[in-house]
Amino acid sequence: MSPNIESASPPGRRERRKSETRERIFLAALRLFAERGFFRTTVEDITEAADVGKGTFFSYFPSKEHLFGMMHEVQLSKVLHAEAEAKTGDLPIHDVLRQFMQNIAEEPGRSQLVARGLLATVFTNEDIRKLLVGTLTRGRSHLERILTLGQERGEVRRDLPASAMARNFQQSTIGTLMLWSLDTPSNLSRRIDTTFEIYWSGIKAGSDRAENLQ
């Protein structure tokens, strides 16, 4: 793709095409990771499956690991959506958070091998670790605002800081995803259901009763 040809297209169309190519590469990669595992999938495999040249691949993603940056954007857009939904006040915070926990587990939970590949990369690649920590920190600030709204509306307990409950949401979700990815095949969505049920019982208004302080 020469910059001259690119600049001849109207900006909107060019941006849309770039975004489509990016997504095609990403989806091809996810499919291959699921079939062969992260480590056994090469950049060549991905470019072939996505029908793009290696140069195109590298213009979007400096390395195979950087495909995860795209995943992070996808995940962040979900928490932004949940926050916007919470702000309208149309739904109880319970419903917003329940749907969000399911949504956030959906992409990394497409297959156990994809999830294992994603998690392995976090522990073995310093750039990806920092990327994840950054994304979790940003995600947590939005979750915190949702939980604060829940506290203000009397739906969420007030004796714990919203930030602690936001962190717990992430820990519970990632812990569920992690153990699901390692285990014999099972339904992730049902596991997330149970995780959310216990999480919500733990943070809803009225859960901070004297018994906890024994």
Question: By the criterion CB under 8 A, which residues form the site for a copy of itself?
Answer: 39, 92, 94-95, 116-117, 119-120, 122-124, 129, 132-133, 136, 157, 160, 164-165, 167-168, 170-176, 178-179, 182-184, 191, 194-195, 197-204, 206-209, 211-212, 214
Cβ 81 to a copy of itself, closest distance in Å? 21
Which H/E stretch holds residue 13?
Answer: helix 11-36
The residue with tokens 């947590």 is: 140
Cβ 49 to a copy of itself, closest distance in Å? 23
**Of 21 and 176, which has the nearer Cβ to a copy of itself?**
176
**Of 23 and 208, which has the nearer Cβ to a copy of itself?**
208
**Of 49 and 205, which has the nearer Cβ to a copy of itself?**
205
Minimal CA–CA distance to 29: which of 85, 88, 107?
Answer: 107
DSSP 66: G
Q: Report yes or no: 50 and 24 within 8 Å, Cβ to Cβ.
A: yes
Name 204's bridge partners.
Answer: 156
Cβ 3 to a copy of itself, closest distance in Å? 38
How many Å apart are CA 93 and CA 133, to the nearest integer? Answer: 25
How many Å apart are CA 155 and CA 112, to the nearest integer? Answer: 34
Cβ 189 to a copy of itself, closest distance in Å? 14
**Of 37 and 81, which has the nearer Cβ to a copy of itself?**
37
**Of 22 and 157, which has the nearer Cβ to a copy of itself?**
157
Q: Is 37 left (phi over 0), alpha (psi -120 to 50) or beta?
A: left
Cβ 130 to a copy of itself, closest distance in Å? 9
- Cβ-based neighbour number of residue 10 at 10 Å: 8
